[in-house]
Amino acid sequence: MLSTFPAKVLLLGEYTILNGSKALALPYWPLKGEWSFDNSGSGPAVNSRRSLLSFIDSSQARGIDLERMKKDYLNGLWFDSTIPQGFGLGSSGAVIAAIYERYGIPASVLVEDKKALAGLEDFFHGSSSGLDPLVSHLRRPLLIHGFDDVEVLPSTPDLSDFFLLNTGKPRQTGPLVSVYQEKMKDPQFKQRCGEILAKEVNFAIDAVLRNDRTHLFHHLWHISKFQWEYFPEMIPIKERALWTRGLETGDYVLKLCGAGGGGFILGFGQKLPLEELREVIHSHELRELT
């Protein structure tokens, strides 16, 4: 039976992980991918096969049986995935995890697997931390204390009241990270990210792990407010009224899910059940995180 590779959600730690905060990443099973074979030359397999051929022709990856992969490609190999590209849910990470498991030799040692996966995902992103494919590979939630200090959690935290808001707009991570890195050259911005945002992120992660819903909402509200004030480029124009409405009413809060700029936005709506939130935010698709 072919393995299935879930999407990933970075629940907390977007951007601040680049500067030392913790992060919490989770597999998201409603969206996933798996290997399939199709020699028809049409349909959804076309783009996947084009990408795989480019990987085979261009990859300098060590430890991957590219000859076997090429043979499978000639027999119609493609990655059948429901994970949308450019939406911040690890579409390339799932592909890389699938390549690693089928054509590589997993080390079963966390640090080594992460390093190998990062090297493979460099093909798609130029430079990868390896965290996205690691989530899809392990199929477990990860508490990231630092890029070289990753803890596999024994169980998935309670994600009730969290939801994903679909902007319907794909984006690219690289340019948005460049915007953030440029902002970090401003000493005042850098100081406030460290003294306020990173601390709120760490507090929020601790609250998730303790299932402390009261304090969780408090910290998520402050993260949302900070991102509204200091990350306006990452919040799509169409969603800004929804963002401020959440801050003002407390019915829900919104925060970036990954790089922002489009894709999915993460929401938390402890005050209202999801069905009522769907009526309040009727202009967008809302997805449960559980």
For domain 162-288, give its CATH number from 3.30.70.890, 1.20.1070.10, 3.30.70.20, 3.40.47.10: 3.30.70.890
CATH 3.30.70.890 domain position(s) in the chain = 162-288
Q: Over the Cα atoms of the chain, what is R_g?
A: 19
CATH 3.30.230.10 domain position(s) in the chain = 4-152
Checking DSSP bridges between strand 142-146 and strand 77-81, what pairing results, if any?
Answer: unpaired
pLDDT in tens, 241-265: 999 999 999 999 999 998 999 999 9
Checking DSSP bridges between strand 253-256 and strand 162-166, what pairing results, if any?
Answer: unpaired
3-state DSSP assignment of residue 139: coil
CATH topology of domain 4-152: Ribosomal Protein S5; domain 2 (3.30.230)
Residue 126 pLDDT: 66
**Cα 270 to the chain's mean position, in Å?**
22
Degrees to nearest 5, angle at CA 11 with 233 and 226:
40
In sequence order, the 6+-apart residues with CB closer than 8 A to the CB of 215 are 203, 207
Residue 1 pLDDT: 37
How far, in Å, CA of 20 to CA of 114, rounded?
18
Using 50 as the pLDDT threshold, list the residues of the chain that sit under it. 1
| Helix residue ranges, H only, the chain | 45-58, 66-74, 91-103, 110-125, 131-138, 173-183, 187-192, 198-210, 213-230, 240-249, 274-280
Q: Could you give phi then psi for residue 239, rounded to 5 degrees?
A: -100, 0
In sequence order, the 6+-apart residues with CB closer than 8 A to the CB of 73 are 49, 52, 53, 56
* pTM exceeds 0.85, yes or no: yes
